[in-house]
Amino acid sequence: MNTSIIDKILTEWSYRVPNGMPDPKDKYHLVHLKESMKRLKVNGEVVDMIMNHLYEASGTKRLSYKDVGKKLAGIKSIKQQGTVDKKLYGDISSADFIKRIKTTFKGATNVKSYAPGDSVQAPVGAKGKVGERQSSKAAWFTWKWDGNNYDIGLMPKTAGGRGTTQTKDQELSWMLVLSGLQYGGDSTNKEEFLSLLVSNSSVYNKIEGVDQNTAMGLAAFLEHNDSWYESNVKQCKKFMTSINDNQPIKYVKDASSLPVNTIAQRLYKQDFGKKLDVDKWNPADIWLQYGSVNKSATSMNEYNNWIMDSLKNGSGWVGVSLKKGGGSVGIVNDIHRPEYKVTGLETKFGGLLSQGVTFNYKGTDLDGFGLNFRIFQGGSTELIRGEVIKKGAEAVQGKATLKVFDDFKSGIYSAVKKVSGVNVKLDKKTKEWVFDGANGKKTFNTVKKAFGNMGKGTAFDNNMHGDWNSAFASESSFLDRLNTHPKIMKKKEGQIKSALNARFQAIVLGSIVTHMSNKDLQKVMVGMLLYGKSESEWSAAHWKAQ
């Protein structure tokens, strides 16, 4: 920086402070210095470098994660949990959390939010590396305040997945963007486009339950979350090339009580004699209402044909399943369905005390698909649940509960459930792990037998917590592993109990699946995959944006 610009800064700074004598140790004076440099159009990076140096020299210390958490945890609906400092817990939307940050840290600038799984641009002074993926489940927030950079995560209280408010933001924002584009807005100018979304009632009033205040909150979410804005715009533009460009009568968030769903429930009960899991019939997150619901359908097939016609013609009710992605849009459960013929299955287990088991499919239209079973809430009595995964996809492709196995082959659910629960405990006197009574030993030996009977094509990760074979050699060797392995000994009691609960179930399930015939693999495992993907024979057509 040359002497000429320095003189100009000093002159401007002197003019702004009350006594004309700038003091670099006075925080109020430092605010005026920053404004002086901005007015003189000094490079932003240079401004930040100078201000950070002066704030450090003036004794302004960066708050720790714990202190930041304390400030925000005092707010209703947001809590700290245990010894976790980098994350807070609360079912609050990203848009509302941004407002809270600005309220709590008055004068905060450059506030940014990142959805779960996004690559976070970690701020200077934060412990994370630039571009580091902060969390697969927590939303992440960064901001600048009082000369320092801050970041923190926000995890839904139901820590097994996306919080309902976070999901609501994403679904409503997608509809708001689509409404703006179908109205004729230009998304290439983000500022003007967001202004349209919040200022024109013909845009936001088309969305069921959204008023101007809600639209403003959603616009704030999109303003501070570039990746979701870009994803929404790409998907919506692609969607508009495939369907009616005109705005529907209403954009509606999915709910089981919607008429389009209640009619399906009635017809499924009539045709199959069972209660319908609506999400497995049509996993739409939102609906575009172009006309009336078909109340005259007399069977599930007739009703599904009407759904298909609605999608093809841009009429009736059009369901859309939303997954974050790069702009891919297509119809699922079209007339021409994938063949899905299984030729093999690879079974993969993680470390001894990791939770899941993944079944990777091989065969016609199946390569790249997998079914992963694990617990989601971290409970020591919780049953494992399945997620359909696909190589290269940013989001899971669907979910399936353990009990669904019995729809294809009876006895699997009860066999796995039998080994769930707490089977070990810490002895109060010795502080060592022991089996939880006779039932704990019995369960272990059931699992030990299942492990020994594991079929071919099974892979075990022996890099974490020691060798699987030695761990399941005997009761004593298993307990010895728990009581002596350095990494296991560092785990908390609840962590070990929940991990073993999930691990025991996964071993029994893996043993059953790896001994299935090709016929059963086709019936059971492909059936589970189709159920998870909402592609069963009675599932309806829907758009999928990802």
CA distance 71 to 541: 48
Residue pair 501/423 in contact by the 8 Å Cβ criterion: yes
Q: Tally the domains of the chain.
A: 4
What backbone torsions phi and psi does residue 285 show, to the nearest 5 degrees?
Answer: -85, -30
Asked if residue 517 is part of any domain, the answer here is: yes
* 185 & 89 share domain: no
Which pLDDT belongs to residue 82?
60
Q: Does 413 lie in the same domain as 360?
A: yes
Q: Is the domain of 280 the same as that of 376?
A: no
pLDDT of residue 538: 77
Same domain flag for 206 and 300: yes
One-character DSSP codes across 24-53 = TT-HHHHHHHHHHHHHTT--HHHHHHHHHH
Domain that holds residue 400: 341-531
CA-wise closest residue to 210 among 245, 179, 256, 236 = 179
> Is 539 a member of any domain?
no
**What is the layout of strands, in order, in the sheet containing 148-155?**
79-81, 84-89, 148-155, 139-145, 109-114
Q: Are residues 70 and 46 in the same domain?
A: no
Question: Has residue 421 been placed in a domain?
Answer: yes
Q: How far apart are CA 513 and CA 360, in angstroms?
A: 12
**Of the residues 122, 155, 188, which one is the last residue of a structural domain?**
155
Do residues 78 and 127 both lie within one domain? yes
The C-alpha atoms of residue 480 and residue 483 are separated, in whole angstroms, by 5
Q: What CA dihedral angle connects 173, 175, 178 and 183, to 10 degrees?
A: -110
Count CB neighbours of 241 within 10 A.
Answer: 8
**Half-sphere exposure of residue 497, counting CA atoms within 13 Å on the CB side?**
18
User: 0.85 exceeded by the pTM?
Assistant: no
Cα separation of 153 and 291, whole Å?
A: 42
113 domain residue, yes or no:
yes
Rg (CA), the chain: 28
Does 161 reside within a domain?
no
Give the mean pLDDT per block of 10 residues along the chain (546 residues): 77 80 76 82 79 66 81 75 74 82 86 74 47 61 85 67 54 90 91 89 90 83 81 86 80 91 91 82 90 90 88 88 73 72 88 83 89 84 88 77 90 92 86 86 90 83 74 86 81 84 91 91 89 81 78
- What pLDDT sits at residue 70? 83
132 with 187, same domain? no
Per-residue tokens: 474: 């005997």
Clarify whether residues 314 and 170 are in a common domain: yes
Q: Are 50 and 70 contained in the same domain?
A: no
Is residue 540 domain-resident?
no
Q: Which of 333, 362, 390 is the last residue of a domain?
A: 333
> Do 277 and 393 share a domain, yes or no?
no
Cβ(507)–Cβ(381) under 8 Å? no
| Amino acid 118: pLDDT | 67
How far lies 94's CA from each of 45, 221, 250, in Å?
28, 6, 25
Helices and strands counted in the chain (H then E): 21, 20
Determine the distance from the C-alpha atom of residue 352 to the mean position of all C-alpha atoms in its chain, rounded to a whole number: 25
Same domain for 387 and 489, yes or no, is yes
536 falls within a domain:
no
**What local confidence, expressed as pLDDT, does residue 207 receive?**
92
Q: Report which secondary-structure segment, H or E, holds 79.
A: strand 79-81
d(CA 173, CA 175): 5
If asked whether residues 288 and 184 sit together in one domain, one would say: yes
155, 174, 189 — which closes off a domain? 155
In a domain, 50, yes or no: yes
Rounded distance between C-alpha atoms, residue 355 and residue 378, angstroms: 9
* HEC string for 130-197: CCEECCCCCEEEEEEECCEEEEEEEECCCCCCCCHHHHHHHHHHHHHHHHHHHHCCCCCCHHHHHHHH
